[in-house]
Structure 1
């Protein structure tokens, strides 16, 4: 975002944002005596697959958990260690069996007690309907006895409690069902209205927690345009915002008297998978050359304004199996050119692009705009690939799924949380194994498959980390995926907002601690 654009944002903030949010801001509601919190975010909506509250559908669980509607049996602390939440305790009976003792004081927002039978019904529906949960949980049977639930896995599950902290594992009342995208959870807030662009929540008067919810109403607004989100925050129409453009974030950092910012480094990674079905990309030298063309330092420091950390592999340096534990090809344009020449690509006709057999090396790059970093990454890589003679045609669209389905792409860039369960297995299961749901590059490595089988049956954090590092290094040696950066999450809020804190997991935002004091 250029300077003149930032000036425009400041100049038009009051007028434009007021027009957009007229009639639905916090002031009108609070005039009626309600304590209302209005939250603007770029991380909610149909394009993010979370415009709903049923955690058993796609990524709706992120909304259920983030906005205080539902809770999980276990949650992650600041060190990304799983600790009991709706569960009171657990016992690992053997390598296949776990007994979970539930809290005895938890009720759903409709007043119904959370029992073992209720949890059993919820988990059974989860594995029957969700696309990722069955492969992650490997549940063979679930039995309930009072406030105890016994889970038997079909395989050894060293990280079962980690997986049960995933947003899709929010416990909901199955008897209450789903109506108009709304389910009944155990969280401090209750969904009253859910659309593709907005969610309205009210206080859960029956909340079981020791700390009771303090707000009467919460309005979550999906604001996909960064300038609009910035203006709404500046004009006072929003009490807090998540996902502000990095250039705009500087405006709020400079005005500490009017705004507070909470930040946390996360394991959300921005990556680009090479499509192994593309003939040109079946040559590892071509994949490596493209990987070497991305200047990650410049991308993070300049383009992301310091709100990202260069990625080596899928996991950040803060994790024992990430960052410094692996190595990847360094930024080197001349080296990239040499690799392309070695692979048989040269600019024979002087048009600025390398070719082979009379055909330019031209690739289709697919991504989506709802994550602000992705279009920036596309532009950066496109510009640098031009320097080494590779033409990159960028398709940034909310309809990216249709292109994935049809196979009309050579490189697919996306953002995902690589270690949402604090363990490396989640990432490989979902993205890099032969049958992974999101293996968008159709990558297959016998070595990675073998190591994954060992990882799945290995207990102990240190041993698991060693296996994960070996798997990461194989993926990097194969240049199957280009890892660009890790996200630093920022929440901007008014001074009177308390209890809103960025978390390393990118899960927890609205809680009973959330307060609006002025």
Structure 2
């Protein structure tokens, strides 16, 4: 009996040794453990109007689509063209009628089939509660028949399918309702189990995903707004990948332990002027000479080359020149000498020798409102503060996460500087509709131009891409000639990850992040 026990013991030891030595046998998949992934993100917070992942709430459609919970009817390719996603096809029957066929294989994460009736219910609720979506989509009626969806708009809407590719267009199951915890039911590769504003989102694998096998079992998206904290978390292995890393930290990850996914985007760092007459700074901002001097006094190239360390490119207008509607605009160049002359000729003179110009007893001081979650924006504020001071303009920076509430007060700021994906839908119209027109929900500066309004009407009715591009160039030129808006740079966006992470890629529209392809080898 002792001999038998000894032999059994030796066999057990041998099996244990062999099982611990096989190539890759201690990986999560081989050992039966769950594959987990932790993603550090600077942008999931109320400051960015992303309090949860309900696409029918503010800008929460962005985390819904980014984190793989929701999907849209069409998808924006990196060249700006539309590709089918939940939709099998989309046909423009006439100027106001669209026929969309939903793929027969699409299922929500709860197993329910995503048919035209489900999409209809989702879109009807969206336009009922989401002001921006309702204004963009202009939907008059929706009809569902099996997998075929027919949408009739109240007026011609050439880019209806582009708009439905925005985050708010994520299709969610309305039969389950909109849970108070924000964990909506979508069609994506991941299912949200916990959402805590400004902190984290917890996700699990969608076992019923309609479009392939999901490789990661559990994901935690952590909000880490501090750049140093984000860098340390990735270095230590606390997180597997990061979005929004500070440029100063990039050299820490330029080694074989990490890798980058980078792409040029249309996310623009730009500013709008405040033209409200009740604004204490109205006398300054209404002066064309001041606005032109500001545009000429910002060193865009210096900002990109020095502060962004080359991870970006300078902007002439609202859109990159890689788009047809971004070519051919004319803007002023950085010229501090000419800017000084313009101010001097307009009567802005430094009479007391403190370096800041005055006119009729009014100091040439502007209040610059921006926010910290886009780490490029505070850098731009500091750069502009330095170069504008050189021409005699004082810049008072208010860098705050409360910028969205402050910008709604016409008395509280003179320039609001933001970061927006201006051509994320592959078309120029959304930028103008959102920020520049009388009806724009975010025209916080009260800008008005008769010519711009007329061009906007033309753009909304133009179905030919070439014609749309020409109109968009004219609209940008209106803004630039008046210097009511300025455009500094576009982002070269990067995601940084551990070397063994695969399936995580940066995209020009900045929508898609966590997908079924995400894996840790």
The SS at the match of 1:201 is strand
**Equivalent in the alignment of 2:431:** 427
Which of 380, 385, 390 is the aligned partner of 1:382?
385
The structure-2 alpha-carbon separation of the partners of 1:427 and 1:30, relative to structure 1 and needing over 3 Å to count, comes to: farther
Which of 204, 220, 225 is the aligned partner of 1:202?
204
Instruction: Give how far 1:72 is off.
Output: 0.2
Residue 158 of structure 2 contacts residue 461 of structure 2 at CA under 8 Å; is this kept in 1? Answer: yes
For the pair shown, which has the larger CA radius of gyration, 1 or 2?
Answer: 2
Residue 34 of structure 1 contacts residue 216 of structure 1 at CA under 8 Å; is this kept in 2? Answer: yes
Partner Cα distance (1:140, 1:227) in 2: 49
TM-score by length of 1: 0.92
Give the gaps of 5 or more residues in structure 1.
1-26
Q: CA RMSD in A?
A: 1.5
How many residues align? The count is 487
Partner Cα distance (2:362, 2:149) in 1: 61
Alignment of 1:216-365 (within 5 A): 216-253=217-254, 255=255, 257-277=256-276, 278-322=282-326, 324-365=327-368
**CA offsets per residue over residues 236-293 of structure 1, 9 Å max, x none?**
111111111001012212x1x1111000111100011111122211111110101111
Instruction: Give how far 1:401 is off.
Output: 2.3
Instruction: Give how far 1:212 is off.
Output: 1.2
Residue 441 of structure 1 contacts residue 480 of structure 1 at CA under 8 Å; is this kept in 2? Answer: no
**CA offsets per residue over residues 91-140 of structure 1, 9 Å max, x none?**
21111100101111111011111111110010011111112111111111
2:103 counterpart of 1:97 = no
**CA offsets per residue over residues 170-198 of structure 1, 9 Å max, x none?**
00001111220110000000000000210
Partner Cα distance (1:333, 1:30) in 2: 64
Partner Cα distance (2:48, 2:32) in 1: 33
Residue 103 of structure 1 contacts residue 147 of structure 1 at CA under 8 Å; is this kept in 2? Answer: yes
**Equivalent in the alignment of 2:76:** 76
**Equivalent in the alignment of 2:125:** 125
Partner Cα distance (1:78, 1:470) in 2: 25
Partner Cα distance (2:249, 2:32) in 1: 33
The SS at the match of 2:419 is strand
The SS at the match of 1:392 is strand
**Equivalent in the alignment of 1:368:** 371
Partner Cα distance (2:265, 2:481) in 1: 25
Partner Cα distance (1:378, 1:450) in 2: 33
Partner Cα distance (1:145, 1:451) in 2: 37
Instruction: Give how far 1:30 is off.
Output: 12
Give the gaps of 5 or more residues in structure 2.
1-26, 277-281
Alignment of 1:430-449 (within 5 A): 430-449=434-453
Instruction: Give how far 1:339 is off.
Output: 1.0
2:186 counterpart of 1:182 = no
Which of 490, 495, 498 is the aligned partner of 2:494?
490
Residue 72 of structure 2 contacts residue 164 of structure 2 at CA under 8 Å; is this kept in 1? Answer: yes
The structure-2 alpha-carbon separation of the partners of 1:29 and 1:482, relative to structure 1 and needing over 3 Å to count, comes to: farther
TM-score by length of 2: 0.92
Residue 30 of structure 1 contacts residue 36 of structure 1 at CA under 8 Å; is this kept in 2? Answer: no
Alignment of 1:383-422 (within 5 A): 383-407=386-410, 408-422=412-426
**Equivalent in the alignment of 1:508:** 512
Partner Cα distance (2:504, 2:116) in 1: 32
